[in-house]
Amino acid sequence: QVQLQESGPGLVKPSETLSLNCSVSGGSMSNHYWNWIRQSPGKGLEWIGYVFSSGTTHYNPSFESRVTISIDTSKNQFSLRLTSVTAADAAVYFCARAALQPDARWFDPWGQGTVVTVSS
């Protein structure tokens, strides 16, 4: 059974870069979409973007100028970088898997989430 686990700093200073990792265990990363999603009181659940197992990415236009999602299948992990953070980026960040088939791209499973605070 595939499990995902987020890790990274819980506190980021304004204008700096948020970096998170998601470790995948219990299965292969091949032929899946690996996603970052965040949840804040003000914006609810927001899909940030995905990286496919081949390295192809697609980002939500709301984040496109600031976000990079990358994958390292040899380490069974993928990563999120979000630059120039502000207080609006404070949220719980989740990683989640979606299947390859176009009619099967729901999110399952999810990581437990990691809280990121933005403060100096």
Partner 1 sequence: DIVLTQSPGTLSLSPGERATISCRASQSVGTRFLAWYQQKPGQAPRLLIYSAFSRATGIPDRFSGSGSGTDFTLTISRLEPEDFAVYYCQQYGSSLPWTFGQGTKVEIK
Report the interface residues with partner 1, using CB under 8 A. 44-47, 58, 60-62, 94, 96, 98, 102-113
Phi, psi of 111 (to 5 degrees): -75, 170
CA atoms within 13 A on the CB side of 92: 12
Which residues neighbour 39 within 8 Å (Cβ) at sequence distance 6 or greater? 45, 46, 91, 92, 94, 113
Smallest gap from Cβ 15 to partner 1, in A, equals 25
Q: Cβ closer to partner 1: 15 or 25?
A: 25
Integer Cα distance of 14 and 86 in angstroms: 5
Smallest gap from Cβ 48 to partner 1, in A, equals 9
Q: Cβ closer to partner 1: 72 or 108?
A: 108
Q: Cβ closer to partner 1: 44 or 120?
A: 44
Smallest gap from Cβ 14 to partner 1, in A, equals 25
Q: Cβ closer to partner 1: 84 or 112?
A: 112
On whether the CB atoms of residues 34 and 78 are closer than 8 A, the answer is yes
Smallest gap from Cβ 37 to partner 1, in A, equals 8
Q: Is the peptide bond before 109 cis (omega within 30 degrees of 0)?
A: yes
